[in-house]
């Protein structure tokens, strides 16, 4: 599709046009002109939107859909549509389906389902067969099929020798191993942060110690094996300190944080609403502050929506029995922009691709057009009617957000709200 984007402020620190307000002409998927004013002599589709800003396409490193097996939560087609309308041109999709994505054929299935879509889907294969934590999955075969990393989504690897073998084996082909930071025997049946709040509410607590012990174990294993480790969705101040120290010792470790863990605290659980039941749990304000500081100094590499749709039958029940998870694609930018500047918010949303060997394309003449279109200044209160996801379990319902997404241009296609 040929498109002329009119009067757009470019937010891209890697572009010569950073902070300039320009017209952008896209022909056959390539940016052919960037000028203050471009005449639409060829009658291309023209995009004129209020306070329009554009950036490189956004990337989310942890997205869950339902297909195959849990299509009532989210299909791949609707999940990718939701990603596009939320500003994401690239998403890494978790293996928590039924059956789990743990073979060459499964990875090929996901990629085939996403073929021709404006959003690029990058599969994360299951680390162990069936994600049951017993035997390593077919890591090399899945890499050949297009898997970019390996993760049993939100399932800790209890056996340290299995994690050691995974790091050693994957190092032969540069595979990235995820390890969910939770020591199960310490976390036990905890459903929220162990704190004064859990005691007052009468809910079983999951202490930060469970997260930190697992991180310490995995960092020792990484030092021993010399592999390549990613620790997803950390949530505590001490976790930040541990990873900061590991990076100072030149270990090949990266980590991410879920956007809701930057903003919301365990005080939200006073309502007992299950939309606040997430893994890892919401922690304290001091943890939020440490996580934000970790992003500012580069200790934390990536922010993620950790988008995890859950059907109403598994969410609208007693707190102890409800499943963990929140949808997050639609609120990612609006929430992040409430705590960071525009430049920092966009830097965080476009960061992380290099960890997975994915291309990062600047906004420049002659480059492929992969753009996110948005208005950074609009303030609003988020509600369920704004969701595109099939599931409606949004943790940010009723919260004030800043910045709305118009859509994306990617893979020769324009998608607008």
Q: Which residues are catalytic?
A: 306
Question: What is the CB neighbour count within 10 angstroms for residue 161?
Answer: 9
My answer on whether omega of the bond before 68 falls inside 30° of 0, hence cis, is: yes
Cα gap 403→114, rounded to integer Å: 28
Report CA-CA distances (Å) from 259 to 57, 130, 205: 18, 28, 22
Residue found by looking up tokens 């469970």 in the block: 210
Question: What is the CB neighbour count within 10 angstroms for residue 298?
Answer: 10
Cα gap 101→110, rounded to integer Å: 9
Report which DSSP code applies to 315.
Answer: T
Tell me the Ramachandran region of residue 314: left when phi exceeds 0, alpha when psi lies from -120 to 50, beta otherwise. Answer: alpha
* DSSP per-residue codes, 183-226: -HHHHTT--EE-SHHHHHHT--EE-HHHHHHHHHHHHHHHHHH-
Question: What is the CB neighbour count within 10 angstroms for residue 319?
Answer: 15
Q: What's the length of the chain?
A: 417
What spatial distance separates the first Cα and last Cα of the chain, rounded to whole Å?
17
Angle, alpha carbons 293-349-143 (nearest 5°): 110
SS3 per-residue string spanning 141-184: HHHHHCCCEECCCCCCCCCHHHHHHHHHHHCCCCCCEECCCCCH
CA 296, 91, 322, 211 torsion-angle sign: negative
Pick from 49, 51, 4, 46: which is nearest to 23 by CA?
A: 4
Residue found by looking up tokens 């294993």 in the block: 221
Question: What is the CB neighbour count within 10 angstroms for residue 200?
Answer: 10
Cα gap 18→310, rounded to integer Å: 39
- The rounded Cα 73 to chain-centroid distance in angstroms is 18
Q: Which two tokens stand for residue 178?
A: 């995820």
């Amino acid at each position: 599709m040929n498109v002329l984007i009119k009067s757009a402020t470019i937010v891209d620190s890697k572009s010569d046009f950073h902070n300039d307000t320009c017209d952008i002409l896209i022909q056959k998927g390539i940016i052919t002109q960037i000028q203050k004013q471009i005449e639409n002599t060829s009658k291309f589709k023209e995009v004129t939107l209020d306070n329009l800003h554009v950036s490189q396409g956004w990337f989310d490193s942890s997205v869950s859909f339902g297909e195959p097996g849990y299509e009532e939560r989210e299909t791949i087609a609707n999940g990718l549509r939701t990603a596009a309308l939320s500003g994401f041109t690239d998403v890494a999709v978790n293996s928590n389906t039924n059956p789990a994505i743990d073979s060459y054929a499964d990875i090929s299935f996901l990629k085939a389902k996403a073929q021709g879509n404006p959003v690029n889907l990058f599969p994360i294969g299951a680390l162990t067969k069936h994600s049951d934590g017993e035997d390593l999955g077919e890591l090399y075969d899945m890499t050949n099929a297009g898997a970019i990393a390996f993760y049993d989504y939100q399932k800790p690897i209890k056996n340290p020798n299995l994690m050691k073998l995974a790091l050693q084996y994957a190092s032969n082909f540069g595979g990235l191993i995820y390890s969910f930071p939770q020591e199960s025997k310490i976390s036990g049946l905890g459903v929220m942060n162990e704190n004064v709040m859990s005691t007052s509410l009468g809910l079983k607590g999951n202490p930060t110690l469970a997260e930190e012990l697992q991180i310490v174990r995995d960092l020792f294993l990484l030092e021993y094996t010399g592999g390549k480790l990613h620790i997803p969705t950390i949530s505590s101040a001490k976790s930040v300190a541990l990873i900061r120290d590991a990076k100072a010792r030149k270990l090949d470790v990266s980590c991410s944080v879920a956007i809701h863990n930057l903003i919301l605290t365990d005080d939200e659980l006073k309502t007992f609403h299950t939309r606040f039941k997430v893994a890892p749990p919401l922690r304290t304000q001091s943890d939020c502050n440490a996580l934000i500081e970790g992003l500012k100094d580069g200790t934390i590499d990536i922010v993620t929506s950790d988008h995890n749709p859950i059907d109403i039958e598994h969410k609208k029940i007693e707190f102890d029995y409800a499943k963990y998870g929140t949808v997050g694609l639609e609120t990612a930018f609006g929430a992040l922009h409430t705590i960071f500047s525009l430049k920092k918010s966009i830097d965080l949303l476009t960061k992380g691709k290099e960890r997975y060997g994915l291309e990062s394309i600047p906004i420049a003449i002659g480059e492929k057009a992969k753009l996110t279109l948005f208005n950074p200044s609009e303030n609003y209160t988020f509600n369920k009617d704004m969701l595109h996801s099939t599931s409606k379990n949004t943790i940010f319902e009723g919260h004030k957000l800043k910045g709305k997404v118009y859509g994306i241009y990617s893979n020769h296609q324009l998608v607008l709200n």
